[in-house]
Structure formats: C-alpha cells, structure tokens
A and B are shown apart, each in its own frame.
Chain A
Amino acid sequence: MKRFLAIALGILTAIGGFVDIGDIVANAEAGARFGIAHAWVLLVGVIGICAYAEMAGRVTAVSGRPVFDLVRERLGPRVALANLAGSLLVTVLTLGAEIGGVGLALQLATSVDYLLWVPVVAFVLWAALWRAKFSVLENIFGLTGLVLIVFVIAFFRLPADYSSLWQQASHPGPPTGEDWGTYWFFAVALFASALTPYEVFFFSSGAVEERWSSKDLLTSRINVFVGFPLGGLLAFALMLTSATVFHPLSMSVDTLSQVAMPAAIALGKLGLAAAILGFFAATFGAAMETGLSTGYTVAQYFGWTWGKLRRPRNAARFHTVVMIGILAGVGVLMTTIDPIQLTEYTLVFSAVALPLTYLPILVVANDRGYLGNRVNGRLANTLGVIYLLIVFAAAIAAIPLMLTTRMGGG
C-alpha cells in the first residue's frame, strides 16, 4: 500500500492536467464532434509531459531546486517575470474554473445551482490547503480521481463500432461537416492541456514537500511513467465513450451532465454515481494543484519561504498569495462566466508561459553543476528539443486558431 501511495503525487499532477474541468468537457466534445480523430494528440501530449516531468523530477530530487527557481536562474529576473505573469494568469483562471467545476459536479448530485456552491467550495479548498497534510491531500484526491476509470469500463460495456473507431484514429482529420481550423484548434487545446505549466511547478514543488533526494529518483520516475499515462488514459476514455455514444448520432456535447451520460447508459445508476464522484475528485484535485501552484510560483520567484511542510506562520507570504489566488478565482467566477469556457481562454497565456518554462528545465537538465553525472541522456535531449519545437509551434498557432474558429465554434 505504501508503494502504491508513493505514486499519488504523479497521479494527482496528471489528473490536474489531463482531466480538469475544461478537459473533461473538451475531450468529450472532441469525441462527439470528431470521433477519436484526436487520439494521437493525447499520445503526443503524454510523451511530452513524461519527458519534461522526468527532467523536472530528476533536477529537483538531485539539487533540491523546484522548477521556478531554475526559471529565474537561467532566464534572469525580467524574462522570468514575464513567465510568472503568464503562468499565474493560467493558474488563477484555471483555479477559478476548477472551483466552478466542483460546483458543477455538486450541482449534478444535488440540483443546487453551482454558483451557490462556489463560496462553500472555495472555503473548503482554502481550509484544506491551510490545515491538511500534503500527503493526505494527494492520497485522497489523487486516488479518488481514479474513479473516472468508470469510463474505461463503460466503453467495454457499450456496443462500440470498432472498425469506424479505428478508421477515425488512423485517419486523423475532420469528418464531413467540420473544417481543418476547428480540428487543429481542438488539437492545440488538448495538447496544451497535457503540458500546462502548473503541472511541472506542482510536481517539482511536491517533490520538495515530500523531501525527495537522489535516493528517490526511482520513485520520481515511477510517478512520472505511471501517473501521466494514467491521466492520459482517463482523458482518452472520456473521448472514446463520447465518440461511441454521441458521434454516430451527430450530437454535440457542451455540459458536464452530457459527459456523464455514457457511464449512465452503460452502467446505470452506479455508473452515473461513480462518474459524478470522479468529476468531483478530479476537479477538486485540480483546484488544489492550481491553488498551491499559485503560491509556489510567486514564492519561488521571489525566494520566499513556502510549502505545506512548514507551519503557516512560518510561510506567511506564501499562504497570503494562496488566499489571494482563491479569492481572485472566485471573483472571476462570480462574473457568471462559464467555468468550462474559462479554461479555454488560458490557452492564450499558456502560449507565453509554456516555452519559457520548458526551456530552462531542458538547459538545467544538462548542467553538471546541478546534476553531476545524472544529466540528460541522448533520448531525453532528443525528445526535449523536439517537444520544445512543438510547444513553440503550438504557442504561435494558438491565438490565430482561437480567433479564426471562434474558440472551436466553427
């Protein structure tokens, strides 16, 4: 059991990236509109985040420095500040969206409007980040989020048309009635969500919170190579069930309740209950990840004391930033903006933050001053450079695609 719990950090990090509220709906929407023609994007995303999270975990375990320390050391205070601004906007907007997402999951269970749940969720979230142990949080929400496996089971219970699914996956492109612009918009959105900057911030800071050292390199690798593929699998299951149920009917998906439908159709009430529980845990886990990341990035940029391994009074500025982050997220939600759409806007800010986050990781992972003989091998460097180019391309393409397709509206 202890071995199993040791990978909770990787699982929770991956859930926050792959199946947070925006992605739960985006994956199902892509499945309904395009079938599983975006399956390759998830695969590309999983390999990319594995490559970079492995580097980040290794650097942190060996040198004790989390990712944002490296960003400022290698890029200098000005460029790092631009990264801080971009990634903070991504993180706080996503935090707001996740609080709304928890509200939406509770709305499914209780029929009470999600906006009424928002203050309650925000308070419980803050209290959890204030009092609960880091390991307790990651174990509860990382593992409960795995209940989303219900969508994998649901897929095998549904009468799927395997030949047409294979046709969609092996011939990527828009089906009749959709155009290439929207196809690529969804591809960029799903790819960017796999590599969101707060994932590496959270993963490496979590490694410091758990006091990883060179001895924990294996733990770090298992976290990366089990956690992220598992996150990718959950995202794929959402796309797959939606492609099975909605795509043949040419229906579109835009609410959380529709996403849960395939589980209900295949497994009845219990399937629906498991889906709602999974949505709740995944969005709450993502809210914790983004809430803590807000504090982590600001504190690490300025060199303040941070972390849940200290008493709050010994990390006053860190806890103040986390509080401000939660309040800002609630403030955004109270404008009654759709929480599901909110995470799509973060694409714009990801475009700034992504290259500026991954470049310093790649540079430091080759620095013997930090890593001694544990620097990158040829495989890690090849993947690192290829993904840096893909990230640049996605960053450049994101905004024009968003404008021309009106956020994938077609």
Chain B
Amino acid sequence: MLIGFDLLDRQIIDRDGAPVGKVDDVELTYDDTGTPHVTALLLGQAALGDRIGGLLGRCIAGTARRLSGSLDRPPMRISVDLIDHVDSAVNLTVNRALLQDPPLETWLRDHLIQRIPGATHES
C-alpha cells in the first residue's frame, strides 16, 4: 500500500457508511530500528493546510484554527487500530458518534442551523 496513492485524501466513513472526514494527513511514528509506521490518520482543515504548505496552506490552516475556537487545538486523530479496511474509502470499525465532532460543524449546528425551523425534520 502506498500512503500517497492509497491513503492520503481518501474519504473516511464510519461502520454505517456515514462520512467522517478525509485523510488530510497521517501520523508517522518511528520504531526502534528507525522504520516509520503509520500510527494514526489526521483530519481537519488545519492538518490539510499544514500539508499543503506555502502561503495558501497557511491561510487555510489559520482560518481553520480560528474557526475551531482555539488556536492550539490539535487536529482530530483516528488511530489506525480503528481502521477496518481500505477500499474506495477508509472504512472504520466504529460509529461516528464515538469520535469527536468537528468544531466548525458543532458551532454552525448550534448557532445557525439548529435555530432555523425544520432543522431536525427528515426531508
């Protein structure tokens, strides 16, 4: 498996097929022999911006950090133990409700969408 081709930028879905996010970056850990291993998937626009780099990347990461409400919040991290298998998407073994909610989604839901009539209505 190639990290760049098969893992990065794939859609992550939970055990019921609901979208969780993209593999915006990966966390590498070196073992005793100095071989790197992927230990976690990193999600969120801050991680994405840092990966893109340059002026544009800094803008994306900066905006994302500002919108998340705290400037030093680490990116959302999903341990590789939670990966069931990788096909056209990265399939997790858990339900999305067990993972942390993205801060922007929570903020927009509570301050904007939830206040409009019909937000909880199944259309």
Interface residues of A (CB under 8 A from B): 63-65, 69, 72-73, 76-78, 80-81, 130-134, 302-306, 308, 311-313, 316-317, 319-320, 369-370
In the complex, which residues of chain B have a beta carbon less than 8 angstroms from the beta carbon of A65? Answer: 11, 88-89
Q: A393 to nearest B CB, angstroms?
A: 29
Q: Is the CB of A133 within 8 A of B123?
A: yes
In the complex, which residues of chain B have a beta carbon less than 8 angstroms from the beta carbon of A317? Answer: 102, 104-105, 108
Q: Mark B75-102, 1 if CB is under 8 A from A, else 0.
A: 0000000000001110000000000001
Q: Is the CB of A312 within 8 A of B88?
A: no
A132 to B20, CA, bound (A): 25
A78 to B113, CA, bound (A): 30
Known: A65-B89, A319-B113. A77 touches B48 (CB 8 A): yes
Q: Is the CB of B114 within 8 A of A313?
A: yes
In the complex, which residues of chain A have a beta carbon less than 8 angstroms from the beta carbon of B114? Answer: 313, 316
In the complex, which residues of chain B have a beta carbon less than 8 angstroms from the beta carbon of A132? Answer: 123
Residue of B with least CB distance to A137: B123
B55 within 8 A of A: no
Of the residues A64, A73, A308, A316, contact of B123 by C-beta under 8 Å: A308
Q: Is the CB of A312 within 8 A of B113?
A: yes
Known: A64-B17, A72-B9. A77 touches B52 (CB 8 A): yes
In the complex, which residues of chain B have a beta carbon less than 8 angstroms from the beta carbon of A64? Answer: 17, 88-89
Q: Is the CB of B116 within 8 A of A312?
A: yes
In the complex, which residues of chain A have a beta carbon less than 8 angstroms from the beta carbon of B118? Answer: 130-131, 312
In the complex, which residues of chain B have a beta carbon less than 8 angstroms from the beta carbon of A320? Answer: 108, 112-113
Known: A72-B9, A306-B19. A369 touches B105 (CB 8 A): no
A80 to B43, CA, bound (A): 17
Known: A65-B88, A316-B108, A369-B87. A72 touches B113 (CB 8 A): no
Q: Is the CB of B22 within 8 A of A72?
A: yes
Q: Is the CB of B11 within 8 A of A69?
A: yes
Q: Is the CB of B119 within 8 A of A305?
A: no
A149 to B51, CA, bound (A): 51
A330 to B19, CA, bound (A): 31
In the complex, which residues of chain B have a beta carbon less than 8 angstroms from the beta carbon of A319? Answer: 113
Q: B46 to nearest A CB, angstroms?
A: 12
In the complex, which residues of chain A have a beta carbon less than 8 angstroms from the beta carbon of B112? Answer: 316, 320
A72 to B9, CA, bound (A): 6
B35 within 8 A of A: no
> What 5 pairs between A and B have smallest CB-CB spacing?
A303-B22, A63-B88, A316-B109, A316-B108, A303-B21
A369 to B5, CA, bound (A): 12
B71 within 8 A of A: no
A312 to B116, CA, bound (A): 10
B70 within 8 A of A: no
Q: Is the CB of A131 within 8 A of B123?
A: yes
In the complex, which residues of chain B have a beta carbon less than 8 angstroms from the beta carbon of A313? Answer: 109, 113-114, 119-120
In the complex, which residues of chain B have a beta carbon less than 8 angstroms from the beta carbon of A311? Answer: 119-123
B42 within 8 A of A: no
Known: A77-B52, A131-B123, A313-B114. A303 touches B20 (CB 8 A): yes
Residues 1-20 of B at the A interface (beta carbon under 8 Å): 6, 8-12, 17-20
Of the residues A63, A131, A302, A312, contact of B22 by C-beta under 8 Å: A302
Q: Mark B57-85, 1 if CB is under 8 A from A, else 0.
A: 00000000000000000000000000000
